[in-house]
Chains A and B, each alone.
Chain A
């Protein structure tokens, strides 16, 4: 039994006279203890909305959430708000993209950390402060006792993200959701933060749901990868399988369009044409069809279903998947 099971999650924004828009359109995946699962996609694919829906952080107004999300056997969406609040922060925690705006600017770091310890772990006074210092030390913030007194703006971007991670892991959560945790950071700092997250997963057995647009980050970190496009999972596989055999034309195209540090210069990129705006409704067919090189008439007869055209456990939502391994031939022998 998985720690988190998301089943056919839909999130629809609407109301105020405007046409309803479905940001997440039937997303299913599972996260096991000690596992890193990636939700990958470009802006507007619904990855962030999924994470916020799981944390219960979406504004209630003009919003419909469908499907189920079970955390350790209990449905998150039917649970009472207070029970959910208790769960949030203690059992499941989240790290955001922008560490500065996720921290309260007028409260010292120490107070923000001890607050969580007081609320969820019932610690008080000196004990809470000691634990807070220990937490900062744990995430690699030098001189933690001094840092506790500092305000968020006095820390660098990397240190802020560390402080945020310290707050997230304060109650040893079983599930950590990280929404683009390194996007705002420089690449050398990103390496430090990713290393820290790896450590947490390996040493504490925390499950990590990693939301990112960066396939490089996914390649080094995630065990299971879900590629999202226009609110649906289009491909889901283990990371080695996915990167070795990207089978959905979108995933295949994405990998072909990223300049790689290790690729020889002069090797042309194969971009995907158009933009995310060029899409059709899933009800009519494959949303990716307008941008797809492998588009066939069959792509437009209703929503394509997830299948396993290549290998067991490698799910692909495509009627005309990429099965010829052109990529394997490109690798220099």
Chain B
């Protein structure tokens, strides 16, 4: 049994209008049916772009927002059904670290007062003296001097404030800490300090984390399991390394290919899947697969009508896509969007001066000719070259390479279904689909 289990969690916010008496005119489907399990002592990473509902999901676990439907079970207790006061007491076991380190600290309380607040609420410590001792121990653990006690949040740097936020969660000795974008407000050089601190604390105290972030690199670094969210639901979930090695959902592929890597050698060899259009409004989500309006592999059948379930495709890898296998095998072609090489034309410095790894990759003909579709293949060419060679032996590989050569040209030549980004315009979307129809026959 997992420590934390979410089953079909939905959070719908009513949209209200009215002069005197509000009436509900619609709903924002912020979280729309999420099921996941977090094992004790592990880190579960939730990634997704703004508006995907990851923050709302994190808050719903603590019942900071009302859960419309579904259950959140921590250690056998369904939090969704707990009455108010019991839920309040239960919060000691579930804590949260916030994105904005300054905004999440009361500017008018000093550090001692901020850290005492939770202990007082849960009756931890006989008197302030005892609490102070405990606070000092925790401050030491998160790397803050004990003279911080009398100071106020605005007197600390960003990284230190986040340490205070972590200390505030830790004093209650929780089982699970939900970190909502714990480092995204921090400077690059300070981010690593906080990430390392979170990891050290986990090792020392056996904590379980749910880390919510938009930065895939950060999430990959600290998570054991990663769930990718899009428009209120999970589209893919896999162990960190498996997800990175072989993302199966089109959205995950696009997301991964878009994350810049601070290494020109890698950047120049990567290919990006550029999505068309914008995120549809969560108040008016597309029918069927939520991603079909922007999906480069969207098909006319099923995608727009049938909502894909998160299904296991082996090795604990779950994906919500009707055609995950076909995309992975290269049977399906891009229907919209484009794949671009990240290399800039006319780059000043000498691109012929290749590193040994790159040469090794080029030596292997199949690997070099096959444009790296997923980042993994591009990043470690030397390693992957061997694998790619093996793959080439299978029947589908030549077809895949051939198909891809045409793909870029095709994507540009075919009338771009630009109107498809207007998710709310179903008509336009239908038109776009119609234009894709002939291609499917290929």
| Contact surface of A with B, Cβ cutoff 8 Å | 34-36, 42-43, 142-143, 156, 158-159, 186-192, 194-195, 198, 201-202, 213-221, 223-224, 238-241, 243-244, 253-255, 257-265, 268-273, 275-277, 291, 331-333
- Asked if A261 meets B220 with Cβ closer than 8 Å, knowing A143-B419, A188-B258, A332-B382, the reply is yes
- Contacts A261-B375, A275-B187 given: A268-B196 contact, CB under 8 Å? yes
The reply to whether A191 and B274 contact each other, CB–CB distance below 8 Å, is: yes
B383: chain A residues at CB < 8 Å are: 332
Q: Does B260 contact A (CB under 8 A)?
A: yes
Q: Which one of A34, A143, A191, A260 lies within 8 Å of B262 (CB-CB)? A: A260
Which residue from A202, A214, A216 sits with its C-beta under 8 Å from B346? A202
Chain A residues with Cβ under 8 A from B376's Cβ?
262
Residue from the set A201, A214, A275 with the largest chain B CB neighbour count within 10 Å? A275
Contacting pair A216 B160 (CB below 8 A): no
Chain B residues with Cβ below 8 Å from A194 are 260
Interface residues of B in 203-247 (CB under 8 A from A): 214-218, 220-222, 240-241, 244
- Given that A224-B348, A239-B264 are known contacts, is A142 also in contact with B418, CB under 8 Å in the complex? yes
Considering only CB atoms, which chain A residue lies closest to B239 in the complex? A265
Judge if B379 is at the interface, Cβ distance under 8 Å: yes
B10 within 8 Å of A (CB atoms): no
**Pair A190/B349 contact, Cβ less than 8 Å:** no
Residues of chain A within 8 A of B256, CB atoms compared = 261
Given contacts A192-B274, A198-B344, A253-B189, contact A258 B262 (CB under 8 A): yes
Binding site for A on B (CB under 8 A): 49-50, 157-160, 187-193, 195-196, 214-218, 220-222, 240-241, 244, 254-268, 272, 274-275, 277-279, 340, 342, 344-350, 353, 357, 375-376, 379-380, 382-383, 416, 418-419, 421
Closest 10 CB pairs of A and B: A216-B260, A271-B192, A142-B418, A257-B192, A259-B221, A262-B379, A191-B258, A186-B49, A220-B267, A215-B262
Which residues on B sit within 8 Å (CB–CB) of A156?
A: 278-279
- The answer to whether B221 touches A263, judged by C-beta atoms less than 8 angstroms apart, is yes
Instruction: Across the interface, name the chain A residue whose C-beta is closest to B244.
Output: A261
Residues of A within 8 Å of B278, CB to CB, are 156, 158-159, 189
Residue from A35, A240, A264, A291 within 8 A of B265 (CB atoms) = A240
> Shortest distance in angstroms between B164's beta carbon and chain A's nearest beta carbon?
14
Contact A272 B189 (CB under 8 A): yes
Chain B residue, CB-CB nearest to A196: B274
If the complex has contacts A258-B192, A261-B217, are A275 and B261 also in contact, measured as CB distance less than 8 A?
no
**Neighbour of B349 across the interface among A213, A240, A254, A277, CB < 8 A:** A240
What is the distance, in angstroms, from B16's C-beta to the closest C-beta of chain A?
Answer: 20
- Contact assessment for A269 and B196 in the assembled complex, using a CB-CB cutoff below 8 Å: yes
Q: Considering the chains assembled together, what is the distance between the CA atoms of A159 and B160 in angstroms?
A: 36
Whether B189 lies near A257 (C-beta < 8 A) is: yes
Closest approach, in angstroms, between the C-beta of B184 and any C-beta of chain A? 10
Residue of A nearest to B275 (CB): A188
Query: A221 and B216: CB pair below 8 A?
Result: no
Residues of B within 8 A of A263 (CB): 221
12 contacts between A and B (CB under 8 A): A36-B344, A143-B419, A189-B278, A198-B344, A215-B262, A220-B267, A253-B189, A257-B188, A259-B222, A262-B261, A271-B195, A331-B357
Question: Given contacts A191-B257, A261-B216, A262-B375, are A275 and B159 in contact (CB under 8 A)?
Answer: yes
A42 touches B261 (CB 8 A): no
Across the interface, do B419 and A142 meet the contact criterion of CB distance under 8 Å?
yes
Taking a contact as CB atoms under 8 Å apart, the answer to whether A219 and B263 are in contact is yes
Taking a contact as CB atoms under 8 Å apart, the answer to whether A259 and B241 are in contact is no
Instruction: Give the distance in Å from the alpha carbon of A277 to the alpha carbon of B265 in the complex.
Output: 33
Known contacts A188-B49, A216-B262, A257-B188: A238-B348 contact under CB 8 Å: yes
What residues on A are CB-neighbors of B379 within 8 Å? 261-262
Instruction: Tell me the smallest distance from the CB of B389 to a CB of chain A, in Å.
Output: 18
Q: How far is the CB of A2 from chain B (nearest CB, A)?
A: 13
Assess A215 versus B188: contact at CB under 8 Å? Given A239-B264, A261-B259, A273-B193: yes
In the complex, which residues of chain A have a beta carbon less than 8 angstroms from the beta carbon of B261? 216, 219-220, 260-262
Residues from chain A with a CB closer than 8 A to the CB of B418 are 142-143
Docked Cα-Cα span, A260 to B345, in Å, equals: 25
Per the bound structure, the CA–CA distance linking A291 and B192 in Å amounts to 14
User: What residues of B have a CB within 8 angstroms of the CB of A260 in the complex?
Assistant: 217, 261-263
Give the docked Cα–Cα distance between A260 and B192 (Å). Answer: 11
Q: Is the CB of B348 within 8 A of A223?
A: yes
In the bound complex, what is the Cα–Cα distance between A192 and B260 (angstroms)? 12
Considering the chains assembled together, what is the distance between the CA atoms of A149 and B193 in angstroms? Answer: 47
Among candidates A243, A259, A272, residue contacting B218 with C-beta atoms closer than 8 Å: A259
Q: Are B262 and A269 in contact (CB under 8 A)?
A: no
- Which residues of chain B are within 8 angstroms of A34 by Cβ–Cβ distance? 346
Contact call A265/B221, Cβ cutoff below 8 A: yes
Chain A residue at smallest Cβ distance from B48? A186
- Cα of A265 to Cα of B146 in the assembled complex, Å: 34
**A194–B272 CA distance with the chains assembled, in angstroms:** 11
Partner of B190, one of A264, A270, A271: A271
Q: How far is the CB of B285 from chain A (nearest CB, A)?
A: 15
CB distance from B53 to the nearest CB of A (A): 14
Residues of A within 8 A of B344 (CB): 36, 198, 201-202, 220-221
Task: Please name all residues of chain B whose beta carbon is closer than 8 Å to the beta carbon of A143 when the two chains form the complex.
Answer: 418-419
Residues of B within 8 A of A190 (CB): 258, 260
Which of B195, B218, B348 has most chain A Cβ within 10 Å? B348
User: Chain A residues near B275 (CB, 8 Å)?
Assistant: 188, 192
Query: A158 to chain B: closest CB distance in Å?
Result: 6
**CA distance in complex: A277, B218 (Å):** 24
Contacts of B240 in A (CB 8 A): 265
- On chain B, the residues within 8 Å of A277 by CB distance are 157
Q: Which of A202, A260, A270, A332 has the most CB of B within 10 A?
A: A260
Given the complex of chains A and B, what is the CA–CA distance between A209 and B22 in angstroms? Answer: 51
List residues of chain B with CB within 8 A of the CB of A244.
264-265
**Taking the nearest CB of chain B, how far is it from the CB of A73, in angstroms?**
22
Q: How far is the CB of A238 from chain B (nearest CB, A)?
A: 5
Which residue from chain B places its CB closest to the CB of A257 in the assembled complex? B192
Residues of B within 8 A of A36 (CB): 344
- Give CA–CA (A333, B257) in the complex, Å: 24
Question: A188 and B254 in contact (CB under 8 A), knowing A35-B348, A238-B349, A269-B192?
Answer: yes
B189 and A241 contacting across the interface, CB-CB below 8 Å: no
Distance between Cα atoms of A296 and B209 in the complex (Å):
40
A243 to B264, CA, bound (A): 7
With contacts A213-B187, A262-B380, A275-B187 taken as known, whether A255 is within 8 angstroms of B262 at the C-beta atoms is yes
**Please, how many angstroms separate the alpha-carbon atoms of A219 and B342 in the complex?**
10
CA gap between A216 and B344 in the complex, in Å: 15
